[in-house]
A and B are shown apart, each in its own frame.
Chain A
């Protein structure tokens, strides 16, 4: 494995793990409240997969951070400014349409990124990517199908999906932003520069959104601050308040 700054590698792993953690948490909020039983079960599956992947990514991050830290320590004891997830994923669920649109936009990204990571020069990362890739392939198939079904459904479902796309589009660009962490990962052959994934991504989502009869907003603007932790949204704090409550209220306890 190429020599790489441990701090940089940790940042990369936190980005991967915080994405799956925060999104898994958001999706899990639907349990018991979905529009139909079959979707309730499907969303729970998605959340389970994401949290499972979180254990891998944050587990590896914890290993590198040392100090006998565990994935749980990393997930439950960091404050907002240490989180490295995309802004897209910490937004509140909104309606089912917004949830599935968000899921699709992220699944599409993962479906392109993970196969690249399977060839990572970091063996551990390659293994995690391999384990996650089947789940991701299934997720993108499912979320794409739902986006198409709702986009090209009734007038109301179409309107809601368009509203969801309009709402979330300004957050898509952050997935492809690139900084010194990404440069270091690319230089070491560990992970691709996210910017290089944009073309393939646009082709993939373009196809699905067209089939869904949805229009992609005509804007290049992108919100930033999630994956580098500089400016999260107000929503993340509230999310962590729920997620971390027990560990914070009763520190050091075994559950």
Chain B
């Protein structure tokens, strides 16, 4: 998910302390910021929470792309509210990461320099209005799949951020599906847009869950530490099973000829995404990687004088106040 490709960090910690720590986690007692924690736990969380936060921020861009072209006042407001929520989610997550001893600015610099990643899905373009529906339906749908179990993650601040986010997320998926319904039940052109959106975003949505379990190394430690709650394939399967009837209801075709119900396993058999495309995108070769980072770098650079200006003013006022006292 946002934790695509997160490797567990190794630590050289005292085995007794590690045992106690693991027992705490097994007992579902939350780990809080000032508690002892293995260095590997801290580092892995910083990377995972940080990348989750980056994903929310970068995630504002593909949908933000259509705010000025939203076709009605209501759609304009709904989309704005959703994208604003993404910013808010990023903020909650940066706040959670900061409890681990890293600053938001530091995390931001790592994103902007390419040292830290964000979810691969946001490197795909939004090309017609139905994409906005599909993003809500599929991308938020996939995110919810991952985020609901993460509410039970072991680290307190992360868990609480996820709870807050999950409360707000359901509106996101529903508004997306609502758009898809209007499109799928609309004119020929609208139906075409809806199918086109599904065609382009289906496999990238499947990729959100990360490579198949067979390819995913380093998950075991993260699962033991309850930083990762489910395997990639588990979540991907759940997502497919949930989404297929939704697509059927819309009268749209999922672009997978091998999609068939498997009675024995009680779920759908489906084609894997093209994993070479996934790794290419992670490397920086997706359709929008350059645009996304350019946009974030520009916002950051153009905004420096604003941040510095407001900070300088605050300091002037504080100095004046102290002088007066």
Contact = CB atoms under 8 A, between A and B. Distances in A.
Question: Are chains A and B touching in the complex at the 8 Å CB cutoff?
Answer: yes
Interface string B300-311: 101111111111
Contacts of A58: 73
Given A154-B312, A242-B69, A255-B129, A33 B305 contact: no
B309 A41 contact: no
Given A34-B299, A153-B310, A254-B182, A41 B84 contact: yes
Contacts of A92: none
Interface in B247-297: 295
A45 B300 CA distance: 20
Contacts of A52: 77
B18 to A, nearest CB: 36
B309 A28 contact: no
Q: Which of B73, B87, B307 has the most CB of A within 10 A?
A: B73
B73 A32 contact: no
B68 interface: yes
A95 to B, nearest CB: 7
B83 interface: yes
Contact of B73 (A40, A75, A253): A75
Contacts of B83: 31-32, 44
B115 interface: no
Contacts of B43: none
Given A243-B68, A255-B72, A32 B310 contact: no
A29 B295 CA distance: 13
Interface stretch (A102-110, A123-131, A142-150, A188-196): A142-150
A255 B75 contact: yes
Interface in A235-255: 242-243, 245-247, 250, 253-255
B303 A36 contact: yes
A210 B150 CA distance: 51
B314 interface: yes
B73 A55 contact: yes
Interface string A36-63: 1111110011011001101100100000
Which has the most chain B C-beta neighbours within 10 Å: A28, A95, A247? A28
A71 interface: yes
Interface in A117-176: 146, 148-150, 152-154, 156-158, 160
B313 A54 contact: no
Contact of A72 (B60, B68, B72): B72
Q: Is the interface on chain A under 10, 10 to 19, 20 to 34, or 35 or more residues?
A: 35 or more
A148 to B, nearest CB: 7
A75 B81 CA distance: 20
A148 B312 CA distance: 11
Nearest to A55: B73
Given A150-B309, A250-B187, A37 B91 contact: yes
A101 to B, nearest CB: 12
A96 interface: yes
Contact of A96 (B75, B306, B314): B306
Interface in B71-101: 71-77, 80-81, 83-84, 87-88, 90-91, 94
Contact of B69 (A21, A48, A245): A245
A38 B88 CA distance: 8
B64 interface: yes
Contacts of A51: 73, 76-77, 80
B221 interface: no
Contact of B308 (A96, A97, A153): A153
B39 to A, nearest CB: 28
A255 B313 contact: no
B80 A95 contact: no
Contacts of B308: 153-154, 156-157
A148 B60 contact: no
B124 to A, nearest CB: 16
B73 A255 contact: no
Contact of B312 (A44, A47, A153, A160): A153
A66 interface: no
Contacts of B295: 32-33
A75 B69 CA distance: 12
B277 to A, nearest CB: 25
B230 interface: no
B84 A45 contact: yes
Contacts of B190: 250, 253
Contact of A25 (B68, B304, B305, B310): B68
B67 interface: yes
Nearest to A26: B68
Most buried by B among A37, A243, A245: A37
- Pick from A36, A148, A253 the residue with the most CB of B within 10 Å: A36
Interface string B228-251: 000000000000000000000000
Given A51-B77, A253-B190, A156 B305 contact: yes
A100 B70 CA distance: 24
Closest CB pairs A-B (n = 3): A35-B303, A157-B309, A153-B309
Given A153-B308, A157-B312, A246-B69, 13 more contacts: A29-B68, A32-B64, A33-B299, A34-B299, A36-B307, A44-B80, A45-B84, A51-B76, A150-B309, A242-B68, A245-B69, A253-B189, A255-B75
7 contacts: A21-B73, A31-B60, A34-B299, A40-B87, A58-B73, A160-B305, A253-B189
